A and B are shown apart, each in its own frame.
Chain A
Amino acid sequence: MMQQSYYSLGRLTEIIGTWLLAILWALPLLYAFWSAFHPAEFSTRFDLLAPLTLKNFANAWGVAPFPRYFLNTFVLVTMILVAQFIICTLAAYAFVRFAFLGREVVFVLVLVQLMIMPDVLIVENYRIMSAFGLVDTILAIGLPYMASAFGIFLLRQTFKTVPKELEEAARVEGASTMQILWKVYIPLARPVYLAYGLVSVSYHWNNFLWPLVITNSVETRPLTVGLAIFAAPESGVDWSIITAGTLLAVAPLLIAFLLFQRQFVQSFMRAGIK
């Protein structure tokens, strides 16, 4: 009996602890929602009867060129994802299927990028982009990330698990090297592509420092940089409008996350473990 009641007390603490921590963690975002959906005078007055409004969103949309920022981010994220899929797939296939000269050394050189990410090479990469005449282009934001060591590594690990028999069977049927990649390897790695894609999209949707350095016009700025300018204290924009703008900027990713929570969590897990 004693044991039983002791155990359930422990369990009760666990449950309450889990909930309290969850509420604490959700508060900042819930607060942002509160502030964005209510008139400015209710920013810090929590009245359940406070009138709801969408005006803050309309104002935010009007104050900053959000449609353009959305377009820029969308183009950027898509461009990086497509390029990463192609470039990393080819490289991973090379590492797994071809015992070419210098393979081991080159692989280690690829892994260097896991330690030295483009995020910290902003000074030299800015110089390189200037030399190419690419400063203030969306292409320049994406270029340093397209050959992703992380993506190559992840796909190489996955391709390694493809059974040799499947490849042999395809070869017997007359498939060429590229057809084997397309018909055997890529379909089997589909979950990894999904996982990598989700991680990549969220990373580049949120990336800030390099885009800030390399862009200087509305036509190229992604959402994060636009948001930072819009929310700067100098801009003198009202608090509720800033939260509304912030929520607008995160909305696509947040909605996708809420809808596909399981896939997101599993993708980040998968990407981290390999």
Chain B
Amino acid sequence: MPVSRLLMSRVRGVRLQTHVYGWLLLLPAAVLLVTFTHYPTVATVIQSFFSTAKGTRAAEFVGLENYQFMLEDDLFWQVLGNNVVFALGTIPASIALAMLMAMLVNESIPGRGLARMAYFTPTILPMVAVANIWLFFYTPDYGLLDQIRGLFGFGSHNWLGDPNTVMGCIIVMTIWKEAGFFMIFYLAALQAIPPELREATMLEGAGKWYYFRRVVFPLLMPTTVFVLVNAVINSFKLVDQLFILTKGGPDNASNLLLYYIYQVAFDYWDTAAAATLTVVLLAILVTASVSQFYFLERRTHYQ
């Protein structure tokens, strides 16, 4: 460390040396964070107040015009609505399944190692690969789903081509992909519950359901908040599956906010509109994270 040696010998006094050393160590991280997180965040907000530069015409300040356009855009509301449906469809189901899976594999059941592996494996697969596999299930006629329905005498159905079923298909696939990931956190939390609690509850003649409702569930609450917030964030930032399955279609029935941002920015090259939409997405993500902080700080003080 020749540079640091030099600094140490030059700078007299411990206090200044501490500041310099601290900042030097932090420098690479600080530069990268400012360049690729803080600056683009601020730039996005600024960009949302300017028009898109076209040809020779430079971007000019337009005040809240971009926001006005966005709020008047039916597609924006449709996409936001889709995203809410997607979140409500995936989150409660994934969390309930995750909790159930964790409790099942936390018991001493024969084959629980295999079961845990089955639950967790989708987590380590790329969403694109998962979508590739599921695409075939949903294919009309040939697809597995239609083949199974065919056995019961039902006709074929274009699952991803029908606005009424497309969101359901994406939701089911996402639950399959995510539940095992959330299970891990519940498993960790369950293992932290002292076994005496269970024995004590059982000694008092209470059943398993009572033990779950009155002891386990409340103790899992901090985990549930953590998982819930992460699930909300994921439902707004994970849109890879749309590239494979639907491209947001049919007729935007499965379009989600981040995918819409991608389309606006890289298909239509309307950077002002994309920035305005990104501000909405950032607001949602920040609200989710801050509420986690707020809830966890207030509810748990054990660490």
Residues of chain A touching chain B, judged by Cβ–Cβ distance below 8 Å, are 10, 14-15, 17-19, 21-23, 25-26, 28-29, 31-32, 35, 43-44, 86-88, 90-91, 93-95, 97-101, 103, 106, 109-110, 112-128, 143-144, 146-147, 149, 152, 176-178, 202, 205-209, 212-213, 223-224, 227-228, 231-232, 239, 242-243, 246, 249-250, 253-254, 257-258, 261, 264-265, 268-269, 272-273
Contacts of A253 in B (CB 8 A): 124-125
Residues of chain B touching chain A, judged by Cβ–Cβ distance below 8 Å, are 1, 4, 18-23, 25-26, 28-33, 35-41, 43-44, 47, 100-101, 104-105, 107, 109-130, 132-137, 142, 144, 147, 176, 180-181, 184-185, 187-188, 208, 226, 236-237, 239-240, 243-244, 258, 261-262, 265-266, 271, 274-275, 278, 281-282, 285-286, 288-290
Please state if A122 and B265 are interface contacts (CB–CB under 8 Å).
yes
- Shortest Cβ distance from residue A264 to the other chain B in the assembled complex, whole angstroms: 7
Please state if B28 and A87 are interface contacts (CB–CB under 8 Å).
yes
Contacts of B147 in A (CB 8 A): 44
Please state if B181 and A268 are interface contacts (CB–CB under 8 Å).
yes
CA distance in complex: A73, B262 (Å): 23
Please state if A128 and B39 are interface contacts (CB–CB under 8 Å).
yes
CA distance in complex: A87, B35 (Å): 15
Contacts of A146 in B (CB 8 A): 32
Please state if A257 and B124 are interface contacts (CB–CB under 8 Å).
yes
Please state if B129 and A227 are interface contacts (CB–CB under 8 Å).
yes
Given A25-B180, A87-B32, check contact A32 B133 (CB 8 Å). yes
- Shortest Cβ distance from residue B122 to the other chain A in the assembled complex, whole angstroms: 7
Please state if A269 and B184 are interface contacts (CB–CB under 8 Å).
yes
Partner of A265, one of B107, B120, B271: B120
* Given A18-B109, A116-B286, 7 more pairs with CB closer than 8 A: A21-B100, A23-B118, A87-B32, A100-B18, A125-B40, A231-B135, A261-B120
| 10 residue pairs, one from A and one from B, having the closest CB atoms | A100-B22, A98-B22, A124-B40, A206-B126, A147-B32, A94-B25, A91-B29, A144-B36, A22-B115, A115-B289
Of chain A, the residue at the smallest CB distance from B112 is A18
Of chain A, the residue at the smallest CB distance from B141 is A44
Given A100-B21, A116-B41, A117-B237, check contact A19 B278 (CB 8 Å). no
CA distance in complex: A152, B29 (Å): 9
Given A18-B109, A128-B36, check contact A94 B237 (CB 8 Å). no
Please state if A147 and B29 are interface contacts (CB–CB under 8 Å).
yes
Please state if A87 and B29 are interface contacts (CB–CB under 8 Å).
yes
Contacts of B244 in A (CB 8 A): 228, 231-232
Of chain A, the residue at the smallest CB distance from B236 is A120
Given A125-B40, A272-B185, check contact A25 B176 (CB 8 Å). yes
Partner of B40, one of A91, A128, A273: A128
What are 28 A-B interface contacts by the 8 Å CB criterion?
A: A18-B104, A25-B121, A25-B122, A28-B130, A29-B122, A43-B136, A44-B147, A90-B28, A91-B29, A94-B26, A115-B290, A116-B37, A117-B285, A121-B278, A123-B275, A147-B29, A147-B32, A178-B4, A207-B126, A212-B243, A227-B129, A228-B128, A231-B135, A253-B124, A265-B116, A265-B184, A268-B181, A272-B226
Please state if A21 and B101 are interface contacts (CB–CB under 8 Å).
yes
Please state if B133 and A243 are interface contacts (CB–CB under 8 Å).
yes
